């Protein structure tokens, strides 16, 4: 490499005592430090600013072949190394001067094994780390010796220690656990399943705010009627709860673990670390959690499958609102999820709009059908499965009408599942209710083409200002996109990636000709083909891969979004 400097320590001692701004000399430079190459991606302007971003490459880290053999193995290995770096740096937290001087950090992680930009393992076996460092200063004077100690001492030593002390058996287990989850997930469809939870899994979480497993949880037991067996390449034959394709109800008394099971199934689209309790709980990649979210904006969504003939002749084929109701928001969420390829919908009565889910005989009598705009989910759920192959997994504690439309009914009793399908059918026959009404054919949806002029990332004097805030909001220009209710958005780093993608949309990905589905497809292929970095802003170690559903969900919640006036084709 032409610009590879070898004397970073010398460079830093030359800067010693100078004003902080001289650190900028390092920007874009790469230095060789033994086996490591250190690049300054971004240099902070002062000691209190966001810390500087560094990239450290170790071309030959000496990892075992099995740790690098596939994209999935590389993702798992990178995750394992990432966690080791976190532990190593946590032990070496040191502040040496003003502001963020001397801080050395890498992105924190949770229970999921996501593709992240913080640690990347290349096909060639090379490791790339993206860290942040507070370049040391006293007041606003560069502390060159401290900087040298940090960048040519602590940093390379920490990475070296991580690699030389890497626990190889644990690494193998980490990779195997991820490979098993992938293999299980890939087998689901062939077995007619949408989800699988191995017996012994531990599903409840420590608390609503804490994703670690709950201590003392009752491990999942699976009765013969609900059991199926899947072969995992490493763990071998696994027996577990098979949630079959079609319409599944999870019934049971309050506090018997229904929502916990459904939440675990929602998380089964992701891989979990060993010891999480959900590392043998998988669901199809097209599983999408659906809920009511009143107050959100909806832009040009065809709600006709569920909502027609609103008061005052308001159109529902391109429904627009700044303030959706519970039922319209839930209807929109379903149509939007189907638009980008959902294959299973997960709905919990706790967070659903009752009038969207059911409409019982008495209400049908009181309010005539032609005065009720809502076709309840009950009337569409079978059609979704039979005509469109979309499964539903529904937590239902109260709405017995659903017994008529269910293929399978699981009863949770003190956290233990039982198959009560036959009994449910007997009860439905013995106590007939109005049941589902014929809802008519599913209206074909037109493509939605986002209007690029409606994507404005500017704020004040800044042409582009986009950032993710925890898993709560994505700030896009002057707007805050509310994403806190997306149950399958699990990591703040995913939020940041979505922010980058929205920016890429504003920069031309969205061109007025591409439909929302086209855009999502394009993003997916690009990331699949060229890696996460192609669409994220370069040099950041705090991005993680988000699913197509959550990317679309963020775009769909952008209040400023407008669609092109002409829809392309009817599909």
Which listed option, Mg ion, ligand ADP, none, makes contact with residue 415 (CB within 5 to 8 Å by class)? ligand ADP
Distance set, CA 39 to CA 8, 32, 124, 152, 300 (Å)? 11, 9, 19, 12, 46
Q: Output 141 or 258, the one with its CB closest to ligand ADP.
A: 258
Q: Does 253 bind Mg ion (CB under 5 A)?
A: no
Q: Does 248 bind Mg ion (CB under 5 A)?
A: no
Q: Which of 259, 316, 330, 383 contacts Mg ion by CB under 5 A? A: 259
In this structure, the number of other CB atoms found within 10 A of the CB of residue 407 comes to 15
Residues 378-437 that bind ligand ADP (CB under 6 A): 415
With contacts defined by CB under 6 A, name the span among 82-90, 234-242, 257-265, 541-549 that binds ligand ADP: 257-265
Q: Does 204 bind ligand ADP (CB under 6 A)?
A: yes
Per-residue binding string, Mg ion, 172-211, x by CB under 5 A, is ----------------------------------------
Q: Output 131 or 345, the one with its CB closest to ligand ADP.
A: 345
- Strands (E) across 199-356 are located at 205-207, 210-213, 227-232, 236-244, 247-252, 281-283, 287-290, 298-301, 319-321, 344-348
Distance set, CA 184 to CA 30, 190, 278, 284, 520 (Å)? 43, 11, 13, 10, 26
Round to whole Å and give the CA distance between 320 and 300: 5
Q: In the complex, what is the shortest distance from the CB of residue 202 to ligand ADP, in angstroms, rounded to a whole number?
A: 7
With contacts defined by CB under 6 A, name the span among 212-220, 226-234, 298-306, 531-539 that binds ligand ADP: 212-220
Of 41, 66, 67, the residue nearest 52 (C-alpha)? 41
Q: In the complex, what is the shortest distance from the CB of residue 218 to ligand ADP, in angstroms, rounded to a whole number?
A: 4
Q: Does 258 bind ligand ADP (CB under 6 A)?
A: yes
Q: Does 254 bind ligand ADP (CB under 6 A)?
A: yes
Torsion sign across C-alpha atoms 348, 353, 359, 360: positive
Q: Does 398 bind Mg ion (CB under 5 A)?
A: no
Q: Does 218 bind ligand ADP (CB under 6 A)?
A: yes
- Strands (E) across 281-343 are located at 281-283, 287-290, 298-301, 319-321
Q: In the complex, what is the shortest distance from the CB of residue 278 to ligand ADP, in angstroms, rounded to a whole number?
A: 12
Round to whole Å and give the CA distance between 73 and 63: 12
Q: Does 259 bind ligand ADP (CB under 6 A)?
A: yes
Q: In the complex, what is the shortest distance from the CB of residue 227 to Mg ion, in angstroms, rounded to a whole number?
A: 24
Of 15, 54, 7, the residue nearest 34 (C-alpha)? 7
Q: Does 252 bind ligand ADP (CB under 6 A)?
A: yes
**Given its phi and psi angles, is residue 569 left (phi above 0), alpha (psi -120 to 50 degrees) or beta?**
beta
Q: In the complex, what is the shortest distance from the CB of residue 215 to ligand ADP, in angstroms, rounded to a whole number?
A: 10
Q: Indicate the burial class of 509 (C-beta count within 10 angstroms; 0-12, 13-18, 19 or more).
A: buried
Q: In the complex, what is the shortest distance from the CB of residue 134 to ligand ADP, in angstroms, rounded to a whole number?
A: 39
Round to whole Å and give the CA distance between 84 and 161: 10
Q: Does 277 bind ligand ADP (CB under 6 A)?
A: no
Q: In the complex, what is the shortest distance from the CB of residue 206 to ligand ADP, in angstroms, rounded to a whole number?
A: 9
Q: Does 350 bind Mg ion (CB under 5 A)?
A: yes
Q: Does 260 bind ligand ADP (CB under 6 A)?
A: yes
Which listed option, ligand ADP, Mg ion, none, makes contact with residue 44 (CB within 5 to 8 Å by class)? none
Classify residue 257 by its DSSP letter: S
Per-residue binding string, ligand ADP, 102-141, x by CB under 6 A, is ----------------------------------------
One-letter-per-residue 3-state SS of 452-500: HHHCCCCECCECCCEEEECCCEEEECCEEEECCCCCCCCCHHHHHHHHH
Q: In the complex, what is the shortest distance from the CB of residue 349 to Mg ion, in angstroms, rounded to a whole number?
A: 7
Q: In the complex, what is the shortest distance from the CB of residue 217 to ligand ADP, in angstroms, rounded to a whole number?
A: 4
Round to whole Å and give the CA distance between 296 and 329: 7
* Opening angle at CA 240, ends 395 and 179, nearest 5: 105
- Strands (E) across 177-325 are located at 193-198, 205-207, 210-213, 227-232, 236-244, 247-252, 281-283, 287-290, 298-301, 319-321
Which listed option, ligand ADP, Mg ion, none, makes contact with residue 256 (CB within 5 to 8 Å by class)? ligand ADP
Q: Which of 256, 304, 411, 557 contacts ligand ADP by CB under 6 A? A: 256
Round to whole Å and give the CA distance between 53 and 39: 9
266 in Cβ contact with 422 (< 8 Å): no
Q: In the complex, what is the shortest distance from the CB of residue 278 to Mg ion, in angstroms, rounded to a whole number?
A: 18
Q: Does 351 bind ligand ADP (CB under 6 A)?
A: no
Round to whole Å and give the CA distance between 198 and 183: 13
Which listed option, ligand ADP, Mg ion, none, makes contact with residue 172 (CB within 5 to 8 Å by class)? none
Mention every residue, 6+ apart, whose C-beta is less than 8 A from residue 81. Answer: 119, 121, 127, 162, 163, 166
Which listed option, ligand ADP, Mg ion, none, makes contact with residue 218 (CB within 5 to 8 Å by class)? ligand ADP
Q: In the complex, what is the shortest distance from the CB of residue 263 to ligand ADP, in angstroms, rounded to a whole number?
A: 7
Q: Output 294 or 350, the one with its CB closest to Mg ion.
A: 350
With contacts defined by CB under 6 A, name the span among 104-112, 126-134, 237-245, 249-257 that binds ligand ADP: 249-257
Which residue in this structure is represented by tokens 């037991």?
Answer: 221
Q: Which residues sit at the interface with ligand ADP, rule CB under 6 A?
A: 203-204, 214, 217-218, 252, 254-260, 415
Q: Which residues sit at the interface with Mg ion, rule CB under 5 A?
A: 259, 350
């Amino acid at each position: 490499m032409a610009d590879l400097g070898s004397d970073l320590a010398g460079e830093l001692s030359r800067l010693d005592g100078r004003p902080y701004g001289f650190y900028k000399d390092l920007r874009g430079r790469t230095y060789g430090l033994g086996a490591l190459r250190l690049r300054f991606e971004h240099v902070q302007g002062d000691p209190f600013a966001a810390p500087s971003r560094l990239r450290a490459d170790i071309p030959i880290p000496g990892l075992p072949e099995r740790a690098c053999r596939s994209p999935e193995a590389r993702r798992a290995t990178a995750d394992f190394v990432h966690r080791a770096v976190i532990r190593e740096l946590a032990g070496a937290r040191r502040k040496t001067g003003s502001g963020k001087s001397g801080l050395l950090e890498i992105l924190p992680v949770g229970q999921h094994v996501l593709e992240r930009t913080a640690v990347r393992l290349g096909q060639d076996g090379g490791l790339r780390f993206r860290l942040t460092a507070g370049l040391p200063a006293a007041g606003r004077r560069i502390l060159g010796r401290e900087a040298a100690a940090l960048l040519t001492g602590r940093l390379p030593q920490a990475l070296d220690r991580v690699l030389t002390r890497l626990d190889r058996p644990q690494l193998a287990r980490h990779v195997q656990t991820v490979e098993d989850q992938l293999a299980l997930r890939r087998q689901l469809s062939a077995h007619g399943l949408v989800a699988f939870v191995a017996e012994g899994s531990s599903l409840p979480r420590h608390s609503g705010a804490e994703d670690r497993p709950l201590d003392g949880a009752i491990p999942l037991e699976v009765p013969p009627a609900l059991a199926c067996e899947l072969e995992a390449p490493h763990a071998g034959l696994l027996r577990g709860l098979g949630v079959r394709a079609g319409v599944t109800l999870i019934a049971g008394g309050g506090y018997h673990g229904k929502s916990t099971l459904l939440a675990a199934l929602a998380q089964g689209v992701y891989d979990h670390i060993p010891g999480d309790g959900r590392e043998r709980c998988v669901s199809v990649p097209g599983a999408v959690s659906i809920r009511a979210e009143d107050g959100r904006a909806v832009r040009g969504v065809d709600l006709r499958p569920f909502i027609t003939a609103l008061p005052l002749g308001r159109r529902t084929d391109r429904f627009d609102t700044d303030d959706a109701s519970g039922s319209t928001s839930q209807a929109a969420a379903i149509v939007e999820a189907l638009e980008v390829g959902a294959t299973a919908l997960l709905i919990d009565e706790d967070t659903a709009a009752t009038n969207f889910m059911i409409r019982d005989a008495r209400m049908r009598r009181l309010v005539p059908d032609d005065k009720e705009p809502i076709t309840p989910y009950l009337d569409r759920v079978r059609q979704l499965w039979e005509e469109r192959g979309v499964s539903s997994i529904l937590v239902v504690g109260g709405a017995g009408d659903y017994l008529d439309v269910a293929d399978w009914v699981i009863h949770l009793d003190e956290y233990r599942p039982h198959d009560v399908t036959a009994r449910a059918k007997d009860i439905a026959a013995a106590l007939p209710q109005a049941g589902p009404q014929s809802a008519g054919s599913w209206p074909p949806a037109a493509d939605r083409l986002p209007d690029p002029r409606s994507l404005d990332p500017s704020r004040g004097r800044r042409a582009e200002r986009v950032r993710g805030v925890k898993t709560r909001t994505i700030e896009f220009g002057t707007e805050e996109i509310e994403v806190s209710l997306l149950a399958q958005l699990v990591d703040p780093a995913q939020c940041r990636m979505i922010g980058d993608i929205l920016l890429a949309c504003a920069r031309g990905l969205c061109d007025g000709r591409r439909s929302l589905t086209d855009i999502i497809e394009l993003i997916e292929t690009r990331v699949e083909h060229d890696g996460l970095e192609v669409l994220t802003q370069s040099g950041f170690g705090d991005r993680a891969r988000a699913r197509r559903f959550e990317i679309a969900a963020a775009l769909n919640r952008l209040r400023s979004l407008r669609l092109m006036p002409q829809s392309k084709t009817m599909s």
